Structure 1
Amino acid sequence: MMNFEKRTGPDFGAEAPVYPTNGVPDWYRDAKLGFFVHWGLYSVPAWAVQHGEGVNIPTEDAYAWHQYAEWYGNTVRIAGSPTWERHQRLYGPGTSYEDLADLWDASAFDADAFVGELVDAGAKYVVPTTKHHEGFCLWGTGTTGFNAVARGPRRDLIAEFHDATRRAGAKFGVYYSGALDWHVSDFPAIESDTDLFRYRRNDEHFARYATAQLDELVERFSPDLLWNDIEWPDGGKGREDYGVAETLSRYFAAVPGGVVNDRWGVPYHGFLTREYTHIDEIIPQPWESTRGLGYSFGYNSAEDTRHTLSGPDLIRMLVDVVSKNGNLLINVGPDAAGRIPELQRQTMQQLGAWLRVNGSAIYGTRPWVRFGEAAGAPVRYTRSDAGVHVHALDPSAGELPLPSELSAGKARWADGPHAEVIRAADGSTSVRIPDALRESPVATVTVTP
């Protein structure tokens, strides 16, 4: 996956716009865990080719056999692709992707119950997709009739998400596809990473359209986070009032404690994003790891337990990301009706249960002097005012070695009891992991001087 902070747009020289100086606020760095919600027209067919271990897809077929169900609107336009074949069979050759808007029934969606499940799983912020690359808006926008109030659900889904998230006491963010909008474009299907940036509108008219939509979202919802995707049209990267610099300045004026990501295609970056990517070291800048609970963000009904993160896997992923100075934005993909699939719910519930015991070693923490050890038992470190939190990624080993810097400290398990510290003749120190914790995905001990 590409790193978007490396894309910084046209060189304007002396005429370069002046960007905001806002950094990444402490609330975001303390939050550690957010939930993405990818929900849109793609949730009606809810399908993509299954990916995973043992599946080999040639590079030249990566877009025709795309792993993301939310890209259905693109893959269905690639004649002969598995998505195209399935669409013809299920909906007939006369049904376009956009016709699915009238088949979308979201009657089972209960925003308070839905957001409640995310918060119970540990979410400190919630980021629904307001408009994905398909161009279908999930709020009552005045810019286009292609929206969820005028068609399909006949509801302002983003308003419902917003209100429920505020009631639940979590931060509210919005995802917005800035430079891709297939509804107002007339390009061939994207079939490569090069096409991703070639087949998109960069004109002033589209830049004004995108800015008007983003301004609407800010005015109506005052989102704590703006999560832009696939850059911004080049026609809106200068000093114009509809340009990125001015748009972000208006946002920060309206939401002084807000934060943005790095996917704007300009030199200004908020937090860095890493998508379906494992990071090997601490990244000094605040960053965010994002991925789906499966191989897709949008719901893929073809996925099963082989394609879905287990609770223990997700817990270990969160600990690993936080130890390296990151946040985890994990995605849930509801079905068209607005229900969280049971496989995803089970994983979320296990994460929430672990965090209710161990959350103080995750929330509000910062990286220690290193994230883990190069050799020996798999371990991760975080730190807070309470001490250094040592996370055993394999509690079944029975012992947790402590680094020399912590060998003289006092250790306590996350659920309260003092830990039994073993000091060997060779000077090494370890903690005996109680039997009750040996089946836990991660056992966490806090060491104080």
Structure 2
Amino acid sequence: MNFETRTGPDLGDAAPVYPAATVPEWYRDAKLGFFVHWGLYSVPAWAPAHPPGGVPAEDAYAHHQYAEWYANTVRIPGSPTWRRHQEIYGPGCSYEDLADRWDAGGFDADAFVGELVGAGARYVVPTTKHHDGFCLWDTATTTFNAARRGPRRDLIGEFHDATRRAGARFGVYYSGALDWHVGDFPPIESDTDLFRFRRHDDAFARYAAAQLEELVTRFRPDVLWNDIEWPDGGKGAQEHGLAALFRRYFEAVPDGAINDRWGVPRHGYLTREYTHVEGVLDTPWESTRGLGYSFGYNQAEDATHSLSGAALIRLLADVVSKNGNLLINVGPRADGSIPDLQLAAMRELGAWLRRDGDAVYGTRPWVRAAEETGAPRAYTARPGIVNVIALDPAAGLLDLPVDLAEGTARWADGSLAGFERRADGGVDVVIPDALRGDAAAAVSITMNP
């Protein structure tokens, strides 16, 4: 879903002046971040497993693939989630009652973040509050939070401290548009409802602003990742309005980054969710998705629904070649442990990046992302160097075009790449036997002056 096109009410001459939101170089260099969707929805940890080809549009919300939407889906009578909730928890148990059943006793922030950084993450973005309104930090705005109920821990504080200790950048996800805990709308059952059934009043705008202000004051996040939109009541020139919030944020974090899901005529980088981008985008952007079809942990999913390590590596290479970052999501169990299926893919990605990370980190797109014919590959570039990431090393040969044929080619270990010159002026690089079983292999071409 991409929401950057909606800009809220037309305020005319009363429209506020927004500060510049340049995408910082650290963010463009980082290339890989990890989302962490962990919350009250991790207690039931369930959504209908996504069938091949998806579900009809009219059933998309009743059969929502995102487990983190449980609080909405469970309110749709007759939905699979509604039926399962009655069977397991009984009709007298509301979604919010699950807060007192949440045991996060298996969560070790340093070990958890260590796995993310070990997988190659340069920034970490946990969900501080999803659409259900349950806050994961010790907020003064509501008692519906993890410090007062369930875990009785300031989980975002723990995430923040562990991420800083690990040397990674720290960001926060915040649901600005939706908070089902403080609203009385019916369940969302269509894309139209998504923008209709939510609060825009001044009181809710102040509530959202107070929460975001707390997060900025306490954690100085390197990334503000808002979801879907912002209440229209907070889009004016007020001190609790979004323009003023942005101004204070950039004063506190001058090299901070914001995304595009605010519903105002100012944004930082673009986001694309479960979307394939065809070519190089001029504007820095971020691809985001879960390792499976859900962001929150969905116990109904198995390996057939989840990216393998090889697929994850190839996804990262594709995104980076097109001027993007990958924000891949891990969805832990309620106790704070990472499911084995996700962990295996993460560790495979980390091992590949430890060898071929120079073809990813700190790079920029080349003149094109790939080739329309020949062996599948992804291009990235540094000054004087073009990296070619072979996405099918088993083929044994990587055909380089004429405009790369005169460079010096080396593998990650520094060894020269063997090649065979073709009649058309290009060359075929011979992929070493040791690399042919890998998901991808990067060769760097130093361009001769």
TM over 0.5, yes or no?
Answer: yes
Counterpart amino acid of residue 313 in structure 2: I
Render the CA deviation track for 1:49-68: whole Å, top value 9, x for unaligned: 00142x54111010000000
Aligned to 2:279: 281
> Which residue of the partner structure matches residue 211 of structure 1?
209
Matches within 5 A, 1:419-434: 419-434=417-432
Give, in whole Å, the separation in 2 of the partners of 1:365 and 1:133. Answer: 35
Letter in 1 for 2:83: E
- Shift of the alpha carbon at 1:386? 5.9
Alignment partners' CA distance in 2, 1:261 and 1:184: 25
Question: What fraction of aligned residue pairs are identical, expressed as a percent?
Answer: 71
Report if aligned partners of 1:358, 1:415 keep a CA contact under 8 Å in 2: no
1:430 alignment partner, SS class: strand
Residue identity matched to 1:38: H
Q: Map of 1:15-414 to 2, 5 A cutoff?
A: 15-53=14-52, 55-385=53-383, 387-414=385-412
User: 1:265 aligns to what SS in structure 2?
Assistant: coil
What amino acid sits opposite 1:198 in the alignment?
A: R
Name the amino acid aligned to 1:262.
D
Q: Distance in 1 between matches of 2:423 and 2:284?
A: 41
CA contact (8 A) 2:41 2:67 kept: yes
CA deviation after TM superposition for structure 1 residue 421, in Å? 1.7
The aligned counterpart of 1:10 is: 9
Counterpart-to-counterpart distance in 2, 1:335 and 1:302: 13
Q: What secondary structure is seen at the aligned counterpart in 1 of 2:303?
A: coil
Paired with 1:206 and 1:31, the residues of 2 have a C-alpha distance of 34
SS in 2 for 1:176: strand
| 8 Å Cα contact 1:386-1:446 kept in structure 2 | no
Task: For residue 116 of structure 2, give the secondary structure of its aligned residue in structure 1.
Answer: helix
Residue 13 of structure 1 aligns to which amino acid in structure 2?
A: G
- CA distance change for structure 1 residues 52 and 441 in 2, over 3 Å: closer, same or farther? farther
The alpha-carbon deviation at position 82 of structure 1 amounts to 0.1
Moved more, 399-408 or 101-110: 399-408
Displacement of 1:424 after TM fit? 2.0
Which runs of 5 or more residues in structure 2 are unaligned?
none
Cα distance in structure 2, aligned partners of 1:191 and 1:183: 18
CA distance in 1 between counterparts of 2:419 and 2:444 reads 12
TM-score, structure 1 length as denominator? 0.99
Q: Within 1, Cα distance between the matches of 2:388 and 2:444?
A: 6
The answer on 1:439 being equivalent to 2:418 is: no
Write the distance in 2 (CA, Å) between the matches of 1:165 and 1:288: 20
Q: How far is the alpha carbon of 1:444 from its aligned partner?
A: 0.8
Kept after mapping to 1: 8 A contact 2:404/2:426: no
Cα pair 1:129 1:176 within 8 Å, conserved: yes
Report the Cα distance in structure 1 between the residues aligned to 2:177 and 2:444, rounded to whole angstroms: 45
Deviation string for 1:295-317 (max 9, x for gaps)? Answer: 00000011110011000000000
TM superposition shift of 1:11: 1.4
Give distance in 2, aligned partners of 1:268 and 1:22.
7
- State the 1:415 CA deviation: 2.3
Quote how far apart the aligned CAs of 1:378 are.
1.0
Superposition deviation, residue 428 in structure 1: 2.5
Q: Write out the 4+ residue segments of structure 1 that deviate beyond 4 Å after TM superposition.
A: none
Q: Secondary structure at the match of 1:189?
A: coil
* TM-score, normalised by the number of residues in structure 2: 0.99
> Any idea what the Cα deviations from partners look like across 1:365-413, whole Å, max 9, x if unmatched?
0000000111221111000136100011111111001121111111001
Q: Secondary structure at the match of 1:331?
A: strand
Contact 2:21 2:266 in 1 (8 A): no
Give the C-alpha shift of residue 22 in structure 1: 2.9
Mapped to 2, the partners of 1:301 and 1:13 lie a distance apart of: 49
